[in-house]
Amino acid sequence: MDEKIYFARHSQLNGFGEQKQNMLRQASVLVIGAGGLGCPVLQYLAAAGVGKITVIDGDTVSASNLHRQVLYHSSDIGVKKVDILKERLNTSFCHLETMDAWLDENLAKDMFPSFDLIVDTSDNFATRYLVNDYCVKSGKALVSAGIQQYEGQLSVYNYDFGNGMRSGTYRCLFPEVDMDAPNCSTDGVLSTAVGVLGLLQANEVIKVLTREETVLANKLLLYNVHTNEQRIVKYRRVAGEEVDNHESVSIPSGTDLVGVSWDTLLEWETQAVPFTLIDVREEWEHAEYNKGGINIPLGELVREISSLTAANRLVFYCKRSERSRIAIQRLQDKGLRNEMYYVIQ
C-alpha cells in the first residue's frame, strides 16, 4: 500500500501535514487493556499510523463484552483478547506487539520507561492508580478515561509542558482509591458511551504525540451520552498528591492472604476436608459461568458476615483473584477470623 496515498488526508490537513504524521510514525505507545475503551483506541491509533503500539491484557472474550467491545465476535468467546488483535487491527503502518498478562508493579516498572506515552483503558480503580503512580515515577504522560453507565471522563495526567512543569495527576483529582465505587460489572454501561469516550481518548493520544496546544492537561472532560452534555473542569497539580504521600495502590496482598489452586480444592474434596466455596462476582456473572459454590457478590459480603462465622474454611473465587482478595481483607477488617483463602486464577 502506498503510504503517501494512505495518509493523504492527514498530509492535506491544515496544521497537521507530513510533519505531524512523521511524529506519529516515530511514536511508541503502551495501551493498558483491550476492552471497551481499548477497542476504539487501538483501532484509531493503528489506523492513524502510530509507529509502535504495545497492548497488555490478560483477559479472554466473554459474551457480556460483545455489546461494547466491537473488535470481538461471538466466535471469540473464551479466546484471549490479545490473540485476536493482530488479525482485526489495521497494522499496515503500525508495529503491534501484545502481551498476555495483567499489569502489576514489576511490569509497570520495567515497561513504562520504554514508551513515549501510556494509555490507560482499564476498567478497575486499582489498575488506574497503579498506572498513574508509575507514570509519575517514570516521568511519562498518561491519557486515561473512565466510564460509568451513561457518563465518561477523560484527561491527560502528568503532561510535560516543556517548561519544567507537569500537569496534575490522577491522584490530584482522586487522592485515594475507592474499592466500593460503581463499575460497569455492577451498574452496567451503555455501549455507545464506551465508543464515544474511546474515540475521544484516541484523539487525545494523537494530540499529545503531535504536541497540540489543546491537550486536556489540567482539564477533565466530562461527557454524558444520555443528555449530550459536555463540560470541562479545570484542576491543577496538588503538591503531595502526586505519589509521595500515598502507598502505591495494588490489589490487597500480604501474609494474611493465602491463595490456593483449583487442584488443591479437588484434593481437599477427595480428603473430605470441609470448606465453603463462595463466588464473589455479580449474580449475572455467576449465572453466565461458575465453578460451583454459593454466590455472594462482593458488595453484599459484609452484610452476610453472620452467615459465614460457622464455616470452618472460606474459599473465595472470582475472575482474576482481585475481588476475592478484597473480600478477605474486608471480612478481616470486620473482625472475622475464620480460615480464609482465595483461588489463584
- Using DSSP, state whether 219 is helix, strand or coil: strand
Statement: the pTM of the whole predicted model exceeds 0.85 = no
**What are phi and psi for residue 36, nearest 5 degrees?**
-60, -50
Site of grid cell 477470623: 337
> Is 253 inside any structural domain?
no
Domain-terminating residue out of 199, 234, 269: 234
| Overall average pLDDT of the 3-31 stretch | 92
Task: Show the domain range for 108.
Answer: 3-234
Same domain for 306 and 181: no
Same domain for 197 and 100: yes
Same domain for 160 and 17: yes
Same domain for 299 and 230: no
Same domain for 285 and 196: no
> Is 252 inside any structural domain?
no
Same domain for 90 and 187: yes
Same domain for 313 and 265: yes
Per-residue confidence (pLDDT) for residue 237, from 0 to 100: 86
Distances 101 to 80, 200, 262 between C-alpha atoms, Å: 10, 26, 20
Candidate from 201-210, 249-258, 265-274, 321-330 with smallest mean pLDDT: 249-258
Per-residue confidence (pLDDT) for residue 244, from 0 to 100: 47
Asked whether residue 296 carries a pLDDT value surpassing 80, the answer given is yes
- Using DSSP, state whether 340 is helix, strand or coil: strand
> Is 251 inside any structural domain?
no
Domain of residue 333, CATH code:
3.40.250.10
Q: Which sequence positions are flagged as catalytic?
A: 184, 318
Per-residue confidence (pLDDT) for residue 255, from 0 to 100: 44
State the pLDDT confidence band at 283, using cuts at 50, 70 and 90. Answer: confident
Residues with Cβ < 8 Å from 235, sequence gap 6 or more? 168, 172, 173, 218, 219, 220
State the pLDDT confidence band at 156, using cuts at 50, 70 and 90. Answer: very high
Same domain for 286 and 154: no
- The separation between CA 126 and the C-alpha centre of its own chain, rounded to angstroms, equals 9
Same domain for 279 and 191: no
Same domain for 276 and 228: no
Domain of residue 159, CATH code:
3.40.50.720
> Is 155 inside any structural domain?
yes
Same domain for 52 and 103: yes
> Is 242 inside any structural domain?
no
Distances 34 to 62, 89, 199 between C-alpha atoms, Å: 13, 12, 14
Q: In this predicted model, what pLDDT tens digit does every residue of 79-136 receive, in sequence order? A: 999 999 989 998 889 999 999 999 888 999 999 999 999 999 998 878 888 999 999 9
Same domain for 126 and 274: no
Q: In this predicted model, what pLDDT tens digit does every residue of 76-94 receive, in sequence order? A: 899 999 999 989 998 889 9
| Overall average pLDDT of the 329-344 stretch | 87
Asked whether residue 253 carries a pLDDT value surpassing 60, the answer given is no
Asked whether residue 248 carries a pLDDT value surpassing 60, the answer given is no
> Is 28 inside any structural domain?
yes
Domain-terminating residue out of 234, 268, 287: 234
Give me the number of domains the chain comprises.
2
> Is 247 inside any structural domain?
no
> Is 57 inside any structural domain?
yes
